[in-house]
Amino acid sequence: MTDHYTYRITWSPEDGEHLGLCAEFPSLSWLAPTPDEALSGIRNLVGDVLADMHANGESPPEPLADRTYSGRFVVRVPPETHRDLVIKAAEEGVSLNRLVSARLAG
């Protein structure tokens, strides 16, 4: 199950080591001299936490990768930004949704 969680390895200038993180467990981290060791460490730590949660009857967070997404979310912007985006979309001959989607993806 630890394979379904979202891991990231980054450099920690403060610690002078690679930092392993898990998005679903933001309070956990693992420092190591190499990226591979940081990944292995955070994965093992998540596995230990999951085992503890299971032993205590707690429900672990659902992995982001296993969730379903509708592809729809609402974003509030200032009216001026909304107007500017509508104008830009019209100038490019695309819908507002297509313009914003492309900008978010890019």
pLDDT per position as a tens digit, 58-80: 999 999 999 999 999 999 999 99
For the record, the structure tokens of 3 come out as 């394979």
Residues 14 and 38 in one domain: yes
* Residue 39 contacts residue 46 (beta carbons within 8 Å): no
Closest by alpha carbon to 58, among 46, 50, 66? 50
Last residue of a domain, one of 64, 80, 95: 64
For the record, the structure tokens of 7 come out as 């891991």
Kindly indicate the confidence band of residue 3, based on its pLDDT and cuts at 50, 70 and 90: confident
The span from the CA of 44 to the CA of 9, in Å, is 14
Report which DSSP code applies to 65. Answer: G
Residues 9 and 56 in one domain: yes
pLDDT value for 1: 58
Number of domains in the chain: 2
What is the pTM assigned to this prediction? 0.76
